[in-house]
Amino acid sequence: MSELRAALLALAVLAVSSGCRSKEGKPSPSGGEPVASIPEYMSGDECLFCHRDKVGVSWQNNAHRSTVREAAAGDPALLALASSADKELVNVDLLLGGERLTRFLRKGEYGRLDLLSTAWTPSGAKGEGALVEAGERRWNSKQFSRECAGCHATGFDSSALRFMDISIDCYACHGDVDRSHANDPKRVFLAASRSDSARILSSACAQCHARGGRSRSTKLPFPNNFIAGGDLFVDFEIDTSPGALRSASKTDQHILESIRDVSSAMPGALGCLDCHRVHPGSTRKHRRLSPGAYCESCHGKGKPGRVQWSRDVHNETCGY
């Protein structure tokens, strides 16, 4: 439990005991209008108390869970920094990213993190790990909140510029889960028994994977207090024009194409969850789809089989 969460819970308990009505069930969000403040959602530890068997096991290795994580003493990025830095700058608490780029973070005020200007890449010029400097080395206490937290933390409140939890928790994709779903699973977003539209399903993923988008109301590069289960496109503007697609990496291209088709209600449009599973992370199910134009960007023309696709190598929003 984060310190911010603990403090807010204590306040909530006070509010309830001093006579405020607590709400009974939670209505699922039907619109996409930004909410005024982040609800007191259930934390992942609470969810996993009941869901540890099926989901808990693979969640340990899920990239979403560990996008921001405690800095382990032997981490190569941390070792490289420690051997180069002046003492004052080595108090790193957390690491962000990994395969292409690692960033160093330090705990700041409640619900905020400081971001170090220096990064580390596992594949530097000589094909080995190397630090990447961006000007004079310094901690920035504003950048993470204004440019990153909406996608690399959970429950980010755009007006307070603070998040509830480090990294990506269940709330990010499942929204504000009603406890009564244990008896009626339909009450939780992404339950197998529901039948949400591709637009609503893809909204949950696009809130972070549509990099380059912007909230109309806050102008920040991530959605404004969006709750999964709602319609992202009400307030989040995403450029899916041919020009934007051309300048994006291969990974971002297939994401933007899918968002373009789904948000414009193109018949037969394929949304993220037609191809992806999150628990455990897999794209095996996409192999069973009928071939169509959408497959060509990765398989070329003709019967899908050969793969002409390479993973992301660059993204401006994330600085790699």
Of residues 43-62, those binding ligand HEC (CB under 6 A): 44, 46-51, 54-55, 59
Judged by beta carbon, residue 126 or residue 303, the one nearer ligand HEC is 303
Cis peptide before 280 (omega within 30 of 0): yes
Rounded least distance, CB 187 to ligand HEC, Å = 9
Near ligand HEC in 177-206, by CB under 6 A? 177, 181-182, 185, 188, 190-193, 202, 204-206
Question: Is 318 an interacting residue with respect to ligand HEC (CB under 6 A)?
Answer: yes
CA distance 165 to 194: 27
Rounded least distance, CB 83 to ligand HEC, Å = 21
Judged by beta carbon, residue 14 or residue 306, the one nearer ligand HEC is 306
Taking each helix axis from N to C end, the angle separating 250-263 and 198-209, rounded to the nearest 10 degrees, works out to 150
Which range, of 25-33, 85-93, 229-237, 309-317, touches ligand HEC by CB under 6 A?
309-317
| H or E element in which residue 11 lies | helix 3-17
Strands 139-140 vs 113-121: parallel, antiparallel or unpaired: antiparallel
Rounded least distance, CB 21 to ligand HEC, Å = 22
User: CA of 10: how far to CAs of 3, 19, 232, in Å?
Assistant: 11, 15, 31
Rounded least distance, CB 225 to ligand HEC, Å = 13
Judged by beta carbon, residue 19 or residue 268, the one nearer ligand HEC is 268
Near ligand HEC in 133-162, by CB under 6 A? 143, 147-148, 150-152
Which range, of 74-82, 126-134, 233-241, 249-257, touches ligand HEC by CB under 6 A?
249-257
State both tokens at 154. 């959970």
CA 301 to mean position of chain CA atoms: 32
143: left (phi over 0), alpha (psi -120 to 50) or beta: alpha
Which range, of 30-38, 82-90, 132-140, 293-301, touches ligand HEC by CB under 6 A?
293-301
Coil, helix or strand at residue 208: helix
CA 101 to mean position of chain CA atoms: 16
Question: Is 26 an interacting residue with respect to ligand HEC (CB under 6 A)?
Answer: no
